[in-house]
Structure 1
Amino acid sequence: MATAPPTRTRLRTLVTGATVVTSLAAAVGVGYALGNDPGPGDGGRPPASPIALANADLTVAAGCEELLDSYVDRALEAVGPYGWGGPVVYDVMSGAGAAASEATSSDAARSTASTSRSTSNESGTNVQEVGVDEADVVKVAGSLLLRLRDGELLAYDVAGEEPRLLSSTPLDDARGSDGWVGDPGGEMVLVGGRAVVLGTSPDGRTTTITTVDLADPNSPAVVDATTVAGRASAVRLHGDVVRVVLQNGLPELDFSVPDGALGQLRARLRNRALVRATTLADWLPTVDGTPLVDCEDVAIPEDDVALGTTTLLAFDPADPTARTTTAVATDSALSYFSTDRFYLAASAPQWGWVDCLGCRPTGFTDVDGTTPLFAFALDGTDATYVASGEVEGTIADRWSMDAVGGSLRVAVGPSSETGAFNSVLTLREDGSELVEEGRVDQLGVGEEIKSVRWFDDLAIVVTFRQTDPLYAIDLTDPAAPRLLGDLKIPGFSEYLHPLGEQRLLGMGQDASLEGVTRGAQAALFDVTDLTDPRRLDVVRYAEGTQAAAATDPRQLTWLPERRTVLTVVSQGWTGTTGWVSVLSLADGSMSNRMVEVEHGTDVADVRLVPLASGKVALVTGEDVSFFDL
């Protein structure tokens, strides 16, 4: 149910005793200021009126009343006699189109681009971006290993002959708005001797953020537990700063349904009245019913995008109650973090959610053939809006975005504004605009992007319909990206992992020449000559198997000193069996050894964590042990 009608006054939300306000309008080189409270140097003058950002793609409301009006006005267009929205319409893109032009070694010079960019992380998690840690169910720091299991944070000493349990810390339940108890400890990050644990309610609408002090791992102490009305869709760690992306979708209202001759008209009118009665607490993330973000820190998109709120919350675990927040008035789970930027891609409404913070959500659709992008600069706990723009086409997931040296690179699929092909685009910040700088089109005509891997000056893109075209795109000059070469083979790679400068591993599915999938496969690629990439070897698993890294790359571990890949392979949706596939590389080939390790739903939580001692910890549903290499 909606809360009482709002008092139309300007709210100032105290997140802590000394709230830190992150100004959305303090864009680099713009020089505008929002109407914050006057400081000592303002002579006691009233705050300046909030103004539109220099880039009209995002504006800031003049106050809380205007912000609420913006939500209500957009919501009234989306509500009908049955509540929110109507039937979901799926747009099936045509597979017609001419074949992409192929680069040949005769007209494409050998590139200096390489796959040297690594993705290993000292916390034990396989991450997308070097220097940006991600939440996981297991973390390691030296001889201390932490794992989450059944609402408890378990600490192990992994310095001895066998892992030794040090402590077990119960975590508060994550409760939904309906009272149901969820997972209090879904995933975590570890920094400065403190673990920050994120738990989600069963309805996906609330998140419990728990900070645990591990100064004495034999006796951990919970120092803060805050439940936020909002669903965490991403958690990242930049140095000592934890950043959480929170989503708030359409409010749950007690909508009517048609009944009788004039039922649709009555229901529509009553449902519209419920929307008009909503307050900001229905649209923004809240703590104990109080909005977590100030009105002047919520940017309103000009584009017609999914209705809701996406909030970037940041804090240092050393002081977990001192939080900063920045929000955009759209509901999107599609975000990407570089080391110094946060990019949010707006989308059409997504039905349902993904309850795994490191998994790869699928099914995003474009708004009107284009995808709006918003860029924020990261500095300490602050996030400052700097630029926005849009790309024609659809962005599948966070792995389709990357930023290096001030250049944003995006792999896009077809939409109503493109041809039936995929593209790689480069964009740069020009003032407060994200401006297209270069592009390569005609990738995988009539096919779907299955995986993308970015390096400093290279992109590898895999598409699929019947065969697996692997494209190598030179990004040395962002203004003139070029297709160097491609490789077409049966099956497809859903996740790509670099194995040094000349090798690439693809985990995905084997398929017939007709495009019918048969089972998981691991493919070893030679990218020494990017104008002529080659598949050196392939390991095909049993029929009906799945490569876990395809949906959760954290279930793959690369041990470069041993030239060994450890990755999870599963079979069955009910009665599931999980194996660790031990892939040993030598002389351009792979040997495989399968080790059965888990069954049932616990297969999803299997992790293989490299330790400082050179050992590898195997974390399964009930146990932590050392994996026999």
Structure 2
Amino acid sequence: MKTLIRTAAAAALLAAVTACTSAPEGRPALPKVDLGAVRLVSYSGCDELLTGLREHAAENTGPWGFGNAPIMYTMEARSDARAEAKSTTSTPEHSTTNVHEAGVDEPDLVKTDGNRVLTVAGGTLRVIDTASRKVTGSLKLTKDGEATFVPADLLVSGDRALVMFRGGGDVMVKSFAPLGDTRYVLVDLAGEPKVLATVKPQGTYVDARMVGSTVRLVTRAQPDITLPQPGPDDTEAKRTSANRAAVRKAPLSAWLPTVEITDASGRTRKDTMKCERVSHPADYTGTSLLAVHTIDLARGLDAAGTDPIGVAADGDTVYGTGTSLYVSSNPRWWWPMPIEDAVAPADEPTPPEPAPGEPDPVEPDPSAKPSLSEEPVPSPTPPAEETEIHRFDISKPGAPAYVASGKVPGRLLNQYALSEYDGHLRVATTLASADGKDSSSSVYVLKSDSLAKVGEVGGLGRGERIYSVRFAGPVGYCVTFRQVDPLYTLDLRDPAAPKVTGELKITGYSAYLHPVGEGRLIGIGQEASAKGRTLGTQVSLFDVSDPAAPRRLAQMFQKDSGSEAEWDPHAFLYWPKTGLAVLPMYAWGANGDEVGAVALRVSESGIERLGMIKHPRRAQEGGVYQPGIQRSMVIGDEIWTLSYDGIQVNDLATLKSKAWIPLT
């Protein structure tokens, strides 16, 4: 009997232990991170690829599978900024998905072109006509008996939609990427929706970006290797040796990801990534592989299929511009695992004391090689807390081209911690001390063509971590928090000498920052007590026109509440024409729960609460259910809001409900 390679679960979380530099008295030292090159090198052929992957993967295999200790990873919240829509004579003026970079679309739960709204609920794609407010087309994308609650995102270009089913979820670790059933479904929207092609890549969907009609999708996969079932009395050393032996015998097909493509007629073909299209950094684990697939929605799939390229690396955060695609990998969180059994198995008898007059037993020669039957398990070496970044050129049609790799100390919050501007990439990270009791944040400036560091500014929020970042041209904003919220303003005009120009300390924090006009910034997060206890959702309006003296002009506070926009900016809507801001809200308290979306009007000097949009309640077992609103859109003179149950249309001026379109 055999089992797939897996990592064990762990109960306690410890901070990474790394080599430390000296620190001021009374403070733990922050670790020093080697920023050596992370160059990617293409394999010359399949033999070199297989040899390298086998050996690196074996080195990172322990008694429980990949990794010498159980490890876990957190995902950042995916985030974006705004892209204003241009009205035409035939299309109502409308908002679009809140994206990070203008002109670079991001997958989301719902899409609109003004004339129609598209969303996937319960495994079914629905097309809604905005004029009649009726469902004009639907397409079931799940099979009978298949789970319909699997999350799905959308990208739309003209009369083509790409539906992305996430499959195995978002969890990822640096030396282990989980298997997942990921599907990308290309749909023709001209007339009744119909499937043009289904793409099933091996691995788990990470994220995607679309420029024009071309989509680049990032997936990650672990090697498909089975391990021998351990015996009840096997020591960790014995299990490690058996596991590594299995890894060293694994065929090339265990690593090279495949992609299965089914066309509209039902014909299926399976392609395997070519060896020469796989690259690797100088230091890599061999236990996961990133693939970047390309699909042009306008052209569909041709003989090249998705034309994937691969990197023997990990990735969890995707950031894109019109010409660049960045994939970064955060450091893992580490639980050192007791390995006494692996070094000196507990089930082995203790040697007896020598009898009087007998010589002491001979100690084993430490230089002697271990038996091949029990390869020793090395002590777990905590990884350096650093973030690797890989850049790909997407300026030309077809598959991306690898450009460069680099790394910076610390951990990214999300894609907003990355920003390309004027030939440079700005990166904001938080670096923790070895014992986890201290931390500090920095902004690094890298050359975009080589990802070599040219400048940095550090010392932000000592003892705190980053809660939000926003770059706007040559200016940056960074929020750190533990008990109070320092909002830092950064001058990035000189890449070699970035500097902090101002700081504002207030209670609470902003988890998402959004520009709302010249010299104005909205922050969405939590208010907090002087001791750092969160109290409820707050929306702040900041005046950042003077970088040396940022100040808060106004605040909206809702006690005992939370908002999805705090961790997913796709949920935030800002309509510049009227200053309308809409965000989901869930409030609780003595007067009961209040679930819906709060509408605000933001001016140059204040925030006005306009009201709350709520979807119809419905009965369910045990009581009444109030659907939570996930997204908001402006279409013409109406606000369209989406929940899992349906879509509601409200008047833009009065917030009065005008129509309800059920989806379940």
Amino acid at match of 1:320: L
- State the partner residue of 2:537: 520
| 1:622 maps onto 2:639 in alignment | no
Q: Is the 8 A contact 1:598 1:620 kept in 2?
A: no
Report the TM-score, using the length of structure 1 for normalisation.
0.77
- 1:313 is aligned to 293
Distance 1:513 1:3 in 2: 51
In 2, are the aligned partners of 1:369 and 1:416 still within 8 Å (CA)?
Answer: no
Shift of 1:382: 2.7
Task: Summarize the Cα distance change of 1:444–1:468 in structure 2 as closer, same or farther, 3 Å threshold.
Answer: same
Contact map agreement 2:83 2:96 (CA 8 A) in 1: no
- In 1, Cα distance between equivalents of 2:157 and 2:625: 29
Distance change in 2, residues 1:56/1:583 (3 Å): closer
* RMSD across aligned positions (CA): 3.2
What residue number does 1:594 align with?
612
Q: CA deviation at 1:585?
A: 2.2
Counterpart residue identity of residue 184, structure 2? I
Q: Do residues 215 (structure 1) and 234 (structure 2) align?
A: no
Change (3 A) 1:474 1:138: same
Q: Does 1:58 align with 2:72?
A: no
Q: Note if contact 1:2-1:282 (Cα within 8 Å) is conserved in structure 2.
A: no
Q: Does 1:486 align with 2:468?
A: no
Q: Which residue of 1 aligns with 2:367?
A: none
Aligned equivalent of 1:337, options 302, 306, 320 = 320
Partner of 1:287: 259
The answer to whether the 8 A contact 1:570-1:603 is kept is no
- In 2, the alpha carbon distance for the partners of 1:298 and 1:601 equals 50
CA distance in structure 2 between the aligned counterparts of 1:335 and 1:366, rounded to whole angstroms: 25
Distance in structure 2 (CA, Å) of the matches to 1:456 and 1:277: 51
The 3-state SS of whatever aligns with 1:134 is coil
CA distance in 2, matches of 1:56, 1:520: 41
The residue that corresponds to 1:170 in the other structure is 140
1:104-119 pair list within 5 angstroms = 119=83
Residue 245 of structure 2 is aligned to residue 269 of structure 1: no
1:400 matches 2:408: no
Matching of residues 160-559 of structure 1 within 5 Å: 160=132, 163-173=133-143, 181=147, 186-202=152-168, 205-216=180-191, 219-249=192-222, 251=224, 253-260=226-233, 262-288=234-260, 290=270, 292-304=272-284, 307-317=287-297, 318-321=299-302, 322-349=305-332, 367-378=383-394, 379-415=396-432, 420-429=439-448, 433-543=450-560, 545-559=561-575
Structure 1 pair 90/150, CA: closer, same or farther in 2 (3 Å)? closer
Q: Deviations over 1:556-579 (max 9, x none)?
A: 10011111100011247xx98632
With over 3 angstroms needed to count, the CA separation of the structure-2 counterparts of 1:173 and 1:476, relative to structure 1, is farther
Cα deviation for residue 582 of structure 1 reads 0.8
**Cα distance change on mapping 1:333 and 1:438 into 2, 3 Å:** same
Residues 306 and 420 (structure 1 numbering): CA distance in 2 closer, same or farther, change over 3 Å?
farther
Counterpart among 633, 643, 651 of residue 609 in structure 1: 633
Which consecutive unaligned segments of at least 5 residues does structure 1 have? Answer: 5-54, 92-116, 352-364
Aligned residue in 2 for 1:100:
none
Shift in Å, 1:532? 0.7
Residue 554 of structure 1: SS of its match in structure 2?
A: helix
- Deviation, 1:266, is 3.8
Q: Note the C-alpha offset of 1:231.
A: 1.1
Secondary structure at 2:651's aligned position in 1?
coil
CA distance in structure 2 between the partners assigned to 1:210 and 1:377 by the alignment? 25
Deviation at 1:320, TM superposition (A): 2.7
Structure 1 residue 458 displacement after superposition: 0.9
| Alignment pair present for 1:76 and 2:58 | yes
Which position in structure 2 is the counterpart of 1:356? none
Q: Is the CA contact 1:568–1:606 (under 8 Å) kept in the aligned structure 2?
A: yes
> Which position in structure 2 is the counterpart of 1:567?
583
Secondary structure (helix, strand or coil) at the match of 1:76 reads: helix
Q: CA deviation at 1:63?
A: 1.3
User: SS in structure 2 opposite 1:331?
Assistant: coil
Q: 1:69 to 1:306 in 2, by over 3 A?
A: closer
Letter of the structure 1 residue corresponding to residue 51 of structure 2: D
Deviates more, 1:590-599 or 1:128-137: 590-599
Per-residue CA deviations over 1:246-304 (Å, capped at 9, x if unaligned) read 011354634533522x5434423332233234334433432359554211111111124
SS of 1:549's partner is: helix
CA distance change for structure 1 residues 173 and 471 in 2, over 3 Å: closer, same or farther?
farther
Q: Percent identity?
A: 31
Task: State the SS of the aligned residue for 1:597.
Answer: coil
Q: Establish whether residue 125 from structure 1 lines up as the match of residue 97 from structure 2.
A: yes
The question of whether the paired residues in 2 share the 8 Å contact of 1:400 and 1:410 is answered with: yes
Q: For 1:270, give the aligned amino acid.
A: A
8 A contact 1:2–1:252 mirrored in 2: no
Shift of 1:494: 0.3
Please give the alpha-carbon distance, in whole angstroms, between the structure 1 residues aligned to 2:457 and 2:199: 46
Larger Rg: 2
Distance 1:242 1:602 in 2: 36
Q: Distance in 2 between matches of 1:405 and 1:310?
A: 28
Q: Calculate the TM-score normalised by the size of structure 2.
A: 0.73
CA–CA distance in 2 between the matches of 1:449 and 1:569? 23
Per the alignment, in what secondary structure is the counterpart of residue 166 of structure 1?
strand
Q: Distance between the aligned counterparts of 2:163 and 2:553, measured in 1?
A: 42
Q: Does 1:150 align with 2:122?
A: yes
2:111 to 139, 154, 167: 139
Contact 1:305 1:330 in 2 (8 A): yes
State the aligned residue count. 527
Report the Cα offset of residue 404 of structure 1: 1.4
Structure 2, unpaired ranges of 5+: 5-36, 74-80, 86-93, 170-178, 261-268, 335-380, 618-623, 653-664
Q: Deviations along 1:33-85, whole A, 9 cap, x unmatched?
A: xxxxxxxxxxxxxxxxxxxxxx8721122212321222221221222223233
Change (3 A) 1:602 1:174: farther
Inter-partner Cα distance in structure 2 for 1:537 and 1:145: 34
User: Are residues 483 and 628 of structure 1, via their aligned partners in 2, closer, same or farther at CA, if it must alter by over 3 Å?
Assistant: same
